[in-house]
Amino acid sequence: MRPTISSSKVLKGLRFMTLVLVFATGVGTGGVALNCLNKGKDEQDRINKNLPNEACTQLFFLPCTSVNIDVKDLADSAIVVVLGALLSVFLSAVYMILPLFHAFASNPSKLKVVEPLSWVLSTAVILGGLIPLTVFFATRKAGVTVFLGDLEVSAQIVDELLVILHEQTTYKHIGYLRPLVIIPWFTMFFSAVAAAVSWVYHRQRVTMKQDVLLASTAAFVSAQNATVVPKRFMVEVTSEPQISSFYRKARTVNGTSLQGVTTHVNITSNVFSGSSFTLRDNEDIDLEELSNLDGVVKVYPVMQISLGISPTYRGEDALAHAQWTSHATTGVDKLHSEGILGEGALIGVVDTGVDYDHPALGGGYGPGYKIIGGYDFVGDGEWPYEDAVPDDDPMDNIGHGTHVSGIMIGDSNYFVGVVPEAKMMMYKVFGKYDITYTDVLVAAFIRAYQDGVDMITSSIGGNGGFSDELWPTVASRLVDKGVFVSIAAGNSGSAGPFYASTGAAGENVVAVASVENSILVAEKANLTFKGSDPRDATSALIGYLLASADDFPVDLNEYPIAVLSYNQSNAAEACEAYPDGTGDYSGYTVMVRRGTCTFAEKLVNVEAIGAKYILFYNNDGPMVNPDISSINYNSTSALITAETDAKIIEEIQAGKTVIMAISGNSSDIVGLDDNYYGALPNYFTSWGPLYDLTMKPEIAAPGGDILSTYLDGSYAVLSGTSMATPYIAGVAAAYAGQFGGKQSQGTSFGKTIAKRIVTSGYALPWTNYYREKTAGVTASAAQVGAGMVDAGKVLHYTSSADTLKIQLNDTANFQGEHDITITNSAWYPVFYSFSILSDGAIDTIDQDDGTILGFYNFGEPRVVVPGVKFSPSFLIVWPYQSSSVRVSFTAPDVDSSTMPLYSGRVVISSSVGEEISIPYLGLAGDLGNTVTPVWLDNFPWSPSGISRTNIMNKPWWTFDLPNQDFPIFYVAVRYAVTELRFDIYEPGYTEDQWEYPPVVGQNGYVGTGTTYNSITSNYYDPNVDDPTDVSAFPVSDITRNGGGASSYHEYWWFGALGNGSDIENGEYHFRIAALNPFGNRMVSNDWSIWVDGMPDIVTVNRTTTDIVV
């Protein structure tokens, strides 16, 4: 449940009355003091001695030319002043302390009258305290010099004053006041603080809260996949002229001619300059040598990425909301009520394109419309199987980008996007097929940046977790230039931790996790309750979830609802056949309870009594589309809520007829509270951290069961981190619309808004793979980052922190000291306190086989809490100032054999009710030693021949490909590997000779092996497979295996070396090795080397052509 923010009417009234009393007391005490000064004018006959002008001026700060003071009245009045001051102290302290004890309370924003009253209060109490303070100094021992502020009062003046005072019989009254008259100074302090608190309190907004609700999955954007594109690379150069220079110089590398390369994308910018190219099938290159050419920064492999989208349409249930929304748990609905709709922001979207003619997206394209421009990088044809045909028309062919766009800028009768008044530009990187490449993605990101967008969002990604790949590298640089970048965290949640996504791995790029939306999408219906008097008829809007694609007919209103049992706790209703004589219900819509047996079983029995239209009403389970797929049915059925059922039974028992009517328009939908799964992390959302233990994702947003725009003016419900990602971009756009984007805030904008978004997050409940909650435990930051975004905090809070996240690393490399700078952007001082909230910790290693545990294998979350100390323990930050706190963590003392992944948040609470949090994450154990060697049990291994003979039994090959006589290497790693090598040496090589990178001709090095690029079956097919379609080792950035991830990686070697030549016949030594996590490539011991199961000597003999088994 989202933390509640509320304030009671009693508390608000008490605070206001306290303010009034403090004000009245201050005015009263001040009035008494001023009266005391004027007494002498009216009663000069009671005293003939006047204070000297100099003394009067210095002591009272007032000219006293004709003012006489009655000392008795002065003393008596001083008593009143001090009593009044004491009351002011008490009331001011109460007024100040109440908000401190109830700091999370909010308050009305319209009572701004308290601002001047508060400062008048402070002034009045200061004046009220002046007279008794003066008396106190005046009664000091004669001859002693006293100070009043910066004013020195001479002993002579004091003596003259004391002569006057000692002649009065009431001096004793003044003497009694000596211990008390200092109190007005405290009164002044408390009054000033009370005034500040008053301002803060009445400036705060009221944020009402609804309980989190429920929903289930419709269309699901499945786990995205990323694979290396064979022979396609992108080179980064230092400047534009170096692009052509690179191609000239590359022709001489290893004697390989690049004359026939095909170039694709050329980019020149202050962020990235470079070119992508594809080699001819019979060519290969040495990436290490290319990277060492003058003017070359790096050569990147290009990755292929697929969305994995399977869109469908679907509805869900209610007693119901007239409009569906995804804003109930994020605070965006409150921004809309304040008129904050994103006007002035410009969003860049990199996706499949957009159906810009959709009415909810503005119905057009270009200046004057919501979608003002963009670019199509690939065209509408057969790309990537044919050449791209780019143009300026980013019309969508797939639907994904249209759905993403509606989440941000959509505006219809059915839903409203996060920022319906923002402008958008679309950069299309998919054609008609679900395939794109990372060099095209980079070109799109650079184009969006050059077009001046404030933020770039991309709901694209693939299994990765390496921040130094091409796409995340460029995305990170764009953030440094001031662009906010959000990228989907991925949909591979079942694989468990350490399985992050590609582009989202970039530094300062916000990776977005998915949370089930709290409002379901339901088909719309109206209930009418008719009594004997038609004028007394009432109605109610409801929703329902259909069991099949067939909706109820429009004449459903001719079939009144019939209840077969009024016992709403009878879960077994309709599980048995109804007895003879039950009656004919063919003229009714029949309502029965869900439970005990299946929907299908109940449907059979209800159809047997003639019913054609059936309403199941829910038990305490989740709302779902009833599953009747196991039977042949002759009726239309749906599920309604238990609340709807209760209302129907109540009206029928009151003697009314209940009619259900629908419009017949399939687009008529309603929203329904989801009290079961709503606001829970989606099981599919990918887990971090990155392989270097960088925390990912950073934040979560609604992504499960999201209604948005789709192709041809339609609407669809989709689920995935693809849906959560544009939501976060929308929140960033709302901020940019209010306070300006990178054009006004400069290069700090991207990082600033990222920090505000991440620190706004609030904790979400822990759920396992089956969405079962663990009471009192919050979801791991490795799954949801800082938690659900709170848009109100992002836009309205005056407190901010300079830290995005705290990364503790593993125990062996623990990073415990972290400084957080807090900025107070309010005009008043704010008090800050600190605490931590720990999330559920998970064991990440399966002790049986050493694999990383998949999400579905998680046990109960553990309690793992690091030690923490804050220095200082609290802060007072003055207006428009910043101050720092050091957070010192100590590693938790727990059993580290299973490498528990623990997390939580540093909570920063202010005296004005603001609370922000910074997520932290650490790993208990020594990651490097635990996952080394990286090979999973029984891997690697290598068969060859038709009968798949193991390499230990057949360490030779003829490379007779049709007879399958070539080595296949199966590799499975328990942790991700940044570099996998297949190096070939002359016999006699030992690890003492290892040098990195190896050089042909030195230390017996022959060259690197290659792998076939297009493995699609278990056997080589000469009619399909091209033996020249190979790429050279090393292979970079291979993801981990096991525990819900892929089982292994497969490589076929046809005998070609990395320089394009074929290996000669003879004996060789193979070195197949994977770099250990955090390993040094130059150190032999930092590699996991395949030794067991690999012969020391293998033989190549191309002269044999017989089948070898």
- What is the residue extent of each domain of the chain? 9-203, 222-306, 520-573+585-670, 943-1100
Q: Distance (Å, rounded) from C-alpha 1095 to C-alpha 934?
A: 20
Q: Beta strands of 352-503 (E only): which ranges?
A: 371-376, 423-428, 436-437, 455-458, 484-488
Tell how strand 1066-1075 and strand 977-985 pair up: antiparallel
Is residue 94 very low, low, confident or very high in pLDDT (cuts 50, 70, 90)?
A: low
Q: What integer best gives the mean pLDDT of the chain?
A: 81
More confidently predicted of 59 and 776 = 776
Give buried/exposed letters for 366-378 (b at 16+ CB in 10 A, else e).
eeebbbbbbbbbb
Task: Check whether 374 has a pLDDT greater than 80.
Answer: yes
Q: Report residue 164 as tokens.
A: 């006057």
Check pLDDT > 60 for residue 609. Answer: yes
| pLDDT in the model for residue 445 | 98
Per-residue model confidence as pLDDT tens digits over 616-634:
999 988 888 899 999 899 9
Q: Determine the pLDDT at residue 1106.
A: 41
> pLDDT tens digits, residue range 1037-1091?
888 988 777 789 999 999 999 888 899 999 999 999 999 988 999 999 999 999 9
Which of 231-235, 478-482, 587-591, 834-838 is predicted with the least confidence, judged by mean pLDDT?
Answer: 231-235
Q: What is the pLDDT of residue 151?
A: 34
How confident is residue 41, by pLDDT bands cut at 50, 70 and 90?
very low
The pLDDT of residue 24 is 59
Mean pLDDT for the stretch of residues 246-261: 64
Whether pLDDT at 599 is above 50: yes
**Choosing from 722, 760, 903, 1031, which is the catalytic residue?**
722
- What percent of the chain stands above pLDDT 90? 54
Q: DSSP string covering 503-566, please?
A: GGGSTT-EEEEEEE-SEEEEEEEEEEEE-SSGGG-EEEEEEEEESSSPPPPGGGGGS-EEES--
The winner for highest mean pLDDT among 149-158, 204-213, 1011-1020 is 1011-1020
Buried b (16+ CB within 10 A) or exposed e, 783-803: bbbbbbbbbbbbbbbbbbbbb
User: Side chain identity at 746, as an amino acid letter?
Assistant: G
- The residues, ordered by sequence, that sit 6+ positions from 241 with a Cβ below 8 Å of its Cβ are none
Span 43-54, pLDDT tens digits? 433 333 444 444
On the question of a common fold for 222-306 and 520-573+585-670, the answer reads: no
SS3 228: strand
Residue 938's pLDDT band (cuts 50, 70, 90): very high
CB 461 within 8 A of CB 305: yes
Strand-pair category, 262-267 with 274-278: antiparallel
Per the annotation, the verdict on 400 as an active-site residue is yes
Task: Write down the pLDDT at residue 1015.
Answer: 87
950-975 confidence digits (pLDDT tens) = 999 999 999 999 999 999 999 999 99
Tell me which residue of 540, 589, 605, 595 sits closest to 568, measured CA to CA: 595
- Tell me the mean pLDDT in the region 97-110: 36
Confidence band for 87, pLDDT divided at 50, 70 and 90: low
**What percentage of the chain reaches a pLDDT higher than 70?**
75
**Looking at residue 136, what is its pLDDT?**
45
- pLDDT confidence band for 1103 (50 / 70 / 90): low
pLDDT digits (tens, 9 = 90+) for 281-296: 666 666 667 777 888 8
pLDDT at residue 905, as a whole number: 96
Q: Between residues 311 and 292, which one has the greater pLDDT?
A: 292
Give dist(CA 485, CA 508) in Å, integer.
8
Per-residue confidence band for 206, with pLDDT thresholds at 50, 70 and 90: very low
> Of 400, 403, 796, 818, which one is the catalytic site residue?
400
Tell me, what's the pLDDT at 30? 53
Least confident of 385-399, 448-462, 562-576, 791-805: 562-576
What pLDDT, on a 0 to 100 scale, did the predictor assign at position 569?
A: 86
Q: For residue 1109, is pLDDT > 70?
A: no
Q: Is the pLDDT of residue 466 over 70?
A: yes
* 3 state DSSP class of 705: coil
Long-range contacts of 253-259 (CB under 8 A, 24+ apart): 253/285, 253/286, 253/289, 253/290, 253/293, 254/285, 254/286, 254/289, 254/1058, 254/1059, 254/1060, 255/1059, 256/283, 256/284, 256/285, 256/286, 256/1059, 256/1060, 257/283, 258/283, 258/285
Q: Identify the pLDDT of residue 313.
A: 38
pLDDT at 2 over 80: no
Structure tokens belonging to residue 1091: 């030794």
CA distance 577 to 180: 90
Mean pLDDT computed over 324-345: 92
Residue 263: the pLDDT is 87
Handedness of CA 651, 652, 656, 660 (dihedral sign): positive
The residue that leads in pLDDT, 87 or 389, is 389
* Most confident of the ranges 242-251, 542-551, 1069-1078: 1069-1078
DSSP 807-852: EEEEGGG---EEEEEEEE-SSS-EEEEEEEEEPPBEE-B-TTT-PB
Tell me: the pLDDT tens digits for 904-925? 999 999 999 999 999 999 999 9
What size, in residues, is the chain? 1109
pLDDT at 464: 78
Residue 307's pLDDT band (cuts 50, 70, 90): confident
Residue scoring higher pLDDT (982 or 312): 982
Which of 284, 286, 351, 454 is an active site residue? 351
User: What is the CATH code for 222-306?
Assistant: 3.30.70
Q: What residues does 832 pair with on adjacent strands?
A: 875, 910
Q: Predicted confidence band at 244 (pLDDT cuts at 50, 70, 90)?
A: confident
Q: What does DSSP say about strands 900-910 and 874-877: parallel, antiparallel, or unpaired?
A: unpaired
What own/partner pairs with CB < 8 Å and gap ≥ 24 does 1016-1020 have?
A: 1019/946, 1019/964, 1020/961, 1020/962, 1020/964, 1020/966, 1020/1052
Q: Specify the residue for token string 């389970």.
A: 621
Assess whether pLDDT exceeds 60 at residue 5. Answer: no
List pLDDT tens digits, range 7-17. Answer: 333 444 555 55
Distance CA 512, CA 490 (A): 8
Give pLDDT, residue 668.
Answer: 73
pLDDT at 61: 40
Which of 68-72, 805-809, 855-859 is predicted least confidently? 68-72
Q: Which residues contact 71 (CB under 8 A, 6 or more apart)?
A: 47, 164, 165, 168, 170, 171, 174
User: Quick one: fold of 520-573+585-670?
Assistant: Glucose Oxidase; domain 1 (3.50.30)
Cβ neighbours for 453, distance < 8 A, ≥ 6 positions apart: 346, 347, 348, 425, 483
Instruction: State the number of CA atoms in the 13 A half-sphere of 917 facing the CB.
Output: 25
pLDDT mean over 587-595: 94
The per-residue pLDDT for 21 is 58
Answer yes or no: 173 catalytic. no
The pTM score is: 0.77
Reduce the DSSP state of residue 97 to 3 states and report it: helix
Secondary structure letter of residue 917 according to DSSP: E
Q: Give residue 471's pLDDT.
A: 93
831 or 863: which leads in pLDDT: 831
Closest-CA residue to 213 (of 327, 129, 334) = 327
275 is catalytic: no
Least confident of 18-27, 401-410, 482-491, 972-981: 18-27
**CA 405 – CA 427 distance, rounded (Å):** 12
